[in-house]
Amino acid sequence: MTSYAVFLRGINVGGINIKMADLKVALEAAGFAGVKTLLASGNVVLASDLDVAGVKAKCEKCLRDSFGYDAWVVVLTAARVADLVAACPYPEDDKSTHTYITLGSDKAVLDELDAAGAALENSEQQRLGPEALAWLAPVGGTLDSPFSKISAKPRYKASTTTRNLRTMIKVRDAAAAL
């Protein structure tokens, strides 16, 4: 079995509320092993014999059937999460900035988002791979940052999600422990 990290998009915000205990039960019932949820923002580690595409399809179907919403997830192997965390050039914590990693399941969409962010004045970002883009936001101003406003557009909803680097480190460590 392969260890995976599954990042859910848009739960426990905007009226889509899912208890992590219920999420764990649903994913276990769908046949995933070693299911563990982290934080309340839709981070899951699990094990499966399926490949990345198979885990993505099965998770999205499980979420849609179990919780009745139009679910999208980004799935990465545990090894890939570790690679992305290691490749991030920005600090885990800083007094003036927060480090975020936007994850994407569609390279073309992430390419577009990367180009849009690069066009912003004073943008600080770095592509970590075909599925990830690291960027900085000022402390206390993440949601108001120009890149955050771009990445929140509905066109990116089905294929991207963003996590703080500290969360990615927690996910990396939990996935490695599976």
Residue range 28-37, pLDDT digits in tens: 999 999 999 9
Cα R_g (the chain), whole angstroms: 16
Can you tell me the distance from the alpha carbon of 162 to that of 152, in angstroms, rounded to the nearest whole number?
A: 10
The pair of three-digit structure tokens given for residue 10, joined into one six-digit string: 């848009």
**Count H helices, E strands: the chain?**
6, 8
Q: Three-state SS for 72?
A: coil
Residue type, 50: L
Residue range 71-115, pLDDT digits in tens: 899 999 999 999 999 999 999 878 889 999 999 999 999 999 999
11 pLDDT more than 80: no
The pair of three-digit structure tokens given for residue 158, joined into one six-digit string: 């089905």
pTM of the model: 0.94
Q: Buried b vs exposed e over 145-174: b needs ≥16 C-beta within 10 Å?
A: bebbebbeeeebeebbbbbbbebbbbbbeb
**H/E segment holding residue 66:** helix 52-67
Q: Which of 69, 61, 139, 76 is nearest to 110 (CA)?
A: 76
